[in-house]
Structure 1
Amino acid sequence: MTEHMEPIQGGLDRVLGFTIPDRNVRGRFVRLGPVLDEILAAHEYPPVLKQLLAEALVLCALMGGLLKREGSQLTIQAQAQGGVVELLVCDYREGELRGYLKHDPERFDELGAATDLQSLFGAGHLAITFDLPETGERYQGVVPLEGESLSAAMEEYFARSEQVPTRIRAAVQAGPNGSVAGGLLVQHLADGEEGRERLHVRMDHPEWEHVSILAGSLRAEELVDPELTPEEILWRLFHEEREVRISETMPLTRGCRCSVVHFEEVLARFPKEDRRDMQDENGIILVDCAFCSREFPIQD
């Protein structure tokens, strides 16, 4: 394994990128701390839903960390039919992370101890959208919200829509000093390094099976242990590999982009008669930002 890796400062609120060249594998590691608490504090979620949203934010950071082009954005949206959670949405753009969920409090109180995806979402689906403004491209994949967790549903997305063998591990821990959430994503890429033969996509490829088993051995308590740096985790998992390259780190921040100027620009796109219908008796349009739970009075 490559030596002299610089540790991530504090190991919290950053995405670490890495590759294992001999296995044609790339990966991302993320651990959220203060940023997670800041996002969750915008609404009074029950503990179960806090954990659900925290896992979604970890997945958003892991997948968003794969984006390379400036201004690119990843959005994860879970929509439900007949579930307790009506909507869950997170997005990532250049290290900025935000998210929220909407639920039915009365139905949640009747839920009891059930925390599986079907009980929470009903017949829901997960939509993953990539916006690449540099090229004007926008593409989306949709998979059913099935399985034991959002991470399992996300693995299914990569298998169906991207045809990329992917293993994801995620964990969330709430404590008296705040929440910590961590995640690991590894992928086997069909395009090998330059000069090497292109690989066929195979879920049972020996290279992939080896890495997938190692990644699957990562325990939940390791993912959320702030005393255990990401580099130490990679060493524990892959120290027998000839080389593991640490490619990049990206600091994460809470990225709600709401402001009076932003909403004025959005409202300006509506016809004048529509804006007039939105006004109250004082000529004010009150705009509510679901991400940060704030209201913005806009004078039209």
Structure 2
Amino acid sequence: MNAPAGIPQPQPAPPDSVLPFAVEGLDVRGRVALLGPVVDSILARHAYPAPVSRLLGEAIVLTCLLGTALKFEGRFTLQTSTDGPVDMLVVDFETPDRVRAYARFDGDAVEALGAAATPAALLGNGHLAMTVDQGAHTQRYQGIVALDGASLEEVAHQYFAQSEQIPTRVRLAVGEVISRQPGEAPHHAWRAGGLLVQFLPESGERIAHRDLDPGDRPGEAEDADPSAEAGGEEDDAWVEARSLVDTIEDHELTDPEISPERLLVRLFHERGARVFEPRTMLDRCRCSREKVEGVLAGFTPAEREEMTVDGEIVVTCEFCSTVYRFSADEV
């Protein structure tokens, strides 16, 4: 079910949603992600330093933008492995709407960066892997992009240029909203937002063969013109769409008063945007006592003995911080 964007009076942004849209006059499709309580709960439970929270928040938004394009039951995982102060980010999206995330970092190294703790400086050099897993008896797809001093936005552009050859523009932003009630201390909450736009023209003269599913585009997989990313002559429609996306300021992606529809009106009011049914995101971990017990059962008795302290084994989930306690006899 869809409706034109911008006809109703724009309303405050719904929390934790991804809104697919199309601008048919420019042959582009995309998604807008606005995350409030979901990203705040993930970041707050770990008490990350602010630069790490911002970096992981960007990774969560990027994962939601990409994961909601899946048209089947499965998982999309974004993971970095680098030599920087934040040596690992893991964001796990499970269709249709579940997301969890974790960052591993060197606190002293992050603090030493100070004001220079940009996403590129925090990540350092290494690689980013994006994995699509449809479950048992299927082959996983994985795309790997080098991380060499680039931001997550720049890495996303590299990924689409080399792996899918779809002209793509991504914007990511993470901010902290401070509110105060009379007689109470200020309340800090994280918000994150992002926008992904892809050039998917209908005309055969403007497209070349592409193997992967085009995301929100209905029907059969169409082909896209890779010229914008491959050094060829750029299509005027794509130049216009990309230029409009580049005008977005960070606060427009994190302001609670700017809804996805309102943002699209700001960008594409001359062309008109059509929106589709939004997807609500949920902060949900996949861990359980049964799964943890199964992992512990895979260790040898000697290994479990080393894990036992005061007669019990304590396991803490790195994603959701849930603590599981087992007596030695249970496993």
TM range (shorter): 0.7 to 0.9
Q: Partner amino acid for 1:200?
A: D
Counterpart position of 1:86? 87
CA contact (8 A) 2:31 2:65 kept: yes
Residues 1:200 and 2:250 are matched in the alignment: no
- The counterpart of 2:249, out of the listed 207, 214, 219, is 219
Counterpart position of 1:48? 51
| Post-superposition CA distance 1:152-188 (Å, at most 9, x none) | 1111111111211110111111122411111100011
2:289 and 2:255 mapped to 1: Cα distance?
Answer: 39
Q: After the TM superposition, which residues 22-171 of structure 1 pair with which residues of structure 2 at under 5 Å, given as runs?
A: 22-70=25-73, 72-81=74-83, 83-93=84-94, 94-133=96-135, 136-171=138-173
2:36 and 2:275 mapped to 1: Cα distance?
Answer: 22
Structure 2 spans left out of the alignment, 5+ residues? 180-188, 204-216, 229-233
Counterpart position of 1:289? 317
1:248 and 1:6 mapped to 2: Cα distance?
Answer: 18
Counterpart position of 1:187? 198
**CA RMSD, Structure 1 to Structure 2 (Å):** 2.8
Q: Partner amino acid for 2:115?
A: A
| Cα gap change, 1:276 to 1:46, in 2 (>3 Å) | closer
SS at match of 1:217: coil
2:149 and 2:12 mapped to 1: Cα distance?
Answer: 35
2:296 and 2:202 mapped to 1: Cα distance?
Answer: 45
Residue 198 of structure 1 and its aligned partner are, at CA, apart by 5.0
| Post-superposition CA distance 1:95-145 (Å, at most 9, x none) | 111111111112222222212345312222111111123872311111122
CA contact (8 A) 1:98 1:291 kept: yes
- How many residue pairs end up in the alignment? 296
| Cα gap change, 1:179 to 1:118, in 2 (>3 Å) | closer
CA contact (8 A) 2:166 2:225 kept: no
CA contact (8 A) 2:200 2:223 kept: no
2:16 and 2:37 mapped to 1: Cα distance?
Answer: 7
| Cα gap change, 1:284 to 1:5, in 2 (>3 Å) | farther
CA contact (8 A) 2:19 2:279 kept: yes
Structure 1 spans left out of the alignment, 5+ residues? none
1:272 and 1:8 mapped to 2: Cα distance?
Answer: 57
| Cα gap change, 1:267 to 1:255, in 2 (>3 Å) | same
2:120 and 2:113 mapped to 1: Cα distance?
Answer: 11
Residue 284 of structure 1 and its aligned partner are, at CA, apart by 4.0
- The counterpart of 1:229, out of the listed 240, 256, 259, is 259
Residue 7 of structure 1 and its aligned partner are, at CA, apart by 7.1
Residue 42 of structure 1 and its aligned partner are, at CA, apart by 1.7
| Cα gap change, 1:91 to 1:216, in 2 (>3 Å) | same
1:8 and 1:134 mapped to 2: Cα distance?
Answer: 42
SS at match of 1:92: strand
CA contact (8 A) 1:8 1:249 kept: no
| Post-superposition CA distance 1:249-269 (Å, at most 9, x none) | 11111011222122234445x
Q: Partner amino acid for 1:259?
A: S
Residues 1:261 and 2:297 are matched in the alignment: no
| Cα gap change, 1:62 to 1:210, in 2 (>3 Å) | same
2:23 and 2:296 mapped to 1: Cα distance?
Answer: 48
